[in-house]
Structure 1
Amino acid sequence: MTRFTDRCPAHPGEILREDVIPATAKPKAEVARMLGISRQHLYDILSERKPVSAEVAVRLGKLFGNAPLFWVRLQGAYDAWNATRNVDVSNIPTLHAAE
């Protein structure tokens, strides 16, 4: 399978906002309550202003019946893609194993 490295991976908030929460037919405020987080925290994740922390990933995994690692990996892919484009590594050498 070929990965499209020019395209930013989806933020977990986008997946929650566009697919997961609508499939539940529950109001966002109720989802926040069930997760045990504030409505504002959930809204910040949904608007992609906050990342999904490991703690929130555990809560999401329990609520939606999947693994916390699913949410952590989504966040990690999003963060790594953005960091690769924003962090200047031009002065950092690449080490190679001794032969």
Structure 2
Amino acid sequence: MRRNPERCPTHPGELLREDVIPATGKTKSEIARLLGISRQHLHDLVAERKPVSPEVAVRLAKLFGNAPLVWIRMQGAHDAWHASRDVDVSAIPTINAPTSSVIT
């Protein structure tokens, strides 16, 4: 099943708020303490006011037993979706470079 490109990818804070933290049975204060971040920082993440930084991604991955890239990719997808709608690129041309030198 393909993702609808018009739907904004989930912010990692929403996943933490709605699924991950409740599944632990721990309070947000306990989770913040275990992560080594302030309660305010965690609150800003779950309220989707702050992005998950690489440093926090490493902490989340350790605490929840997954990889930092899970959190970084989720944040990147969310940020890129918003940027593709907010940034005016109409004056920037597209250059067709040889495929062997294109960064993918």
Is the structural similarity TM-score above 0.5?
Answer: yes
TM-score computed with the length of structure 1 as normaliser: 0.96
- For residues 10 and 92 of structure 1, the distance between their equivalents in structure 2, rounded to whole angstroms, comes to 29
The one-letter amino acid of 1:63's match is: L
**Matched position secondary structure for 1:83:** helix
Matches within 5 A, 1:32-51: 32-51=32-51
The one-letter amino acid of 1:74's match is: M
Count matched residues: 98
Q: CA deviation at 1:97?
A: 2.1
1:11 aligns with 2:11: yes
Can you list the C-alpha shifts for 1:36-55, whole angstroms capped at 9, x where unaligned?
00000000000000000000
- For residues 3 and 49 of structure 2, the distance between their equivalents in structure 1, rounded to whole angstroms, comes to 25
Q: CA deviation at 1:2?
A: 2.0
Give unpaired runs (5+ residues) of structure 1: none
1:24 aligns with 2:24: yes
- For residues 2 and 72 of structure 2, the distance between their equivalents in structure 1, rounded to whole angstroms, comes to 22
- For residues 11 and 97 of structure 1, the distance between their equivalents in structure 2, rounded to whole angstroms, comes to 33
Q: CA deviation at 1:3?
A: 2.4
TM-score computed with the length of structure 2 as normaliser: 0.92
The one-letter amino acid of 2:72's match is: V
Q: CA deviation at 1:28?
A: 0.3
- In the other structure, the counterpart of 1:76 is 76
The one-letter amino acid of 2:5's match is: T
- In the other structure, the counterpart of 1:89 is 89
Over aligned residue pairs, what C-alpha RMSD do you find?
A: 0.8
